[in-house]
């Protein structure tokens, strides 16, 4: 059973099959939305399947996610999402609100809501046999991808601007991700992730490097938990 039909560019609207594309729209670099196969989903699942699920995480919505079996049972990968919602009466009164709900996203395994998307990415990466997942981040998104990857032994590489907060970089390293600090902005770090993935720069080691990366040094800055590679834009 196929739960999704492909991807649609969020900018130009062009549609792609799952086999046709991996990262972003080749035409304009737009992010891709998943096109769910609602007809097939409707045929195979009922709303009760979600409502009665014993899964205490985002995976209770598995019928509606582009992943078939995320694996990682008993790990933090299966603990992302489904965070508690509070209804603090005293605070509502103080703020003059009739209703107030507070969703405690700090209960996610890496303490941010970014764990949801990262858990889905890692689940999908495992299904397609991706050796490495890579992202650019200045903070919580990188930590989430590193954390969800660590949960199931998926190798993760995070490009971060060198101005990223040291505490965030430390969190990436605690999770065992390889960190590449980029001498540039977040946008430049993002561009590098796409280029690096496309030339398979990261499949085996950081060397030898294609010429356009020859500003990439193998200088290591020792943090408490491991090496950080610095990347300079050529």
Between CA 214 and CA 234 the distance in angstroms is 6
Identified binder of Zn ion from the candidate list 28, 131, 198, 218, rule CB under 5 A: 28
DSSP tag of 60: G
Residue 6: φ, ψ to 5°:
160, -150
Contact between 9 and Zn ion (CB under 5 A)? yes
Q: Is residue 12 a contact point for Zn ion (CB under 5 A)?
A: yes
Choose the binding region for Zn ion from 12-20, 62-70, 116-124, 147-155 (rule: CB under 5 A).
Answer: 12-20
224-to-81, 143, 167, 170, 187 alpha-carbon distances in Å: 30, 16, 11, 8, 27
The stretch among 9-17, 55-63, 119-127, 201-209 that binds Zn ion (CB under 5 A) is 9-17
Residue 170 burial (10 A CB sphere; 0-12, 13-18, 19+) = middle
Site for Zn ion, residues 29 to 48, rule: CB under 5 A: 30
Nearby residues of 49 by Cβ (< 8 Å), 6 or more positions away: 63
Determine if 25 is a binding residue for Zn ion (CB under 5 A): yes
Per-residue x/- track, 96-135, Zn ion (CB under 5 A):
----------------------------------------
Residues that bind Zn ion (CB under 5 A): 9, 11-12, 25, 27-28, 30
């Amino acid at each position: 059973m196929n739960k999704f039909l492909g991807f649609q560019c969020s900018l130009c609207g062009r549609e792609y099959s799952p086999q046709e594309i991996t990262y972003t729209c080749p035409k304009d670099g737009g992010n891709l939305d998943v096109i769910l196969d609602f007809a097939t989903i409707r045929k195979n699942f009922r709303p009760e399947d979600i409502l009665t699920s014993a899964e205490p995480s985002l995976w209770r919505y598995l019928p509606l996610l582009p992943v078939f079996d995320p694996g990682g049972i008993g790990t933090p990968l299966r603990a992302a999402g489904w965070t508690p919602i509070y209804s603090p009466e005293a605070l509502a009164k103080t703020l003059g609100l009739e209703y107030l709900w507070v969703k405690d996203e700090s209960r996610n395994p890496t303490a941010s809501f970014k764990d949801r998307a990262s858990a889905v990415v890692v689940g999908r990466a495992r299904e397609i046999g991706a050796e490495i997942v890579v992202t650019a981040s200045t903070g919580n998104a990188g930590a989430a991808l590193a954390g969800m990857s660590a949960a199931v032994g998926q190798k993760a590489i995070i490009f971060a601007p060198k101005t990223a907060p040291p505490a965030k970089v430390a969190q990436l390293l605690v999770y065992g991700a390889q960190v590449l600090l980029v001498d540039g902005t977040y946008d430049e770090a993002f561009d590098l992730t796409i280029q690096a993935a496309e030339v398979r720069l990261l499949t085996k080691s950081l060397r030898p490097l294609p010429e356009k990366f020859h500003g990439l040094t193998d200088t290591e800055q020792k943090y408490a938990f491991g090496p950080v590679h610095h990347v300079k834009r050529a």
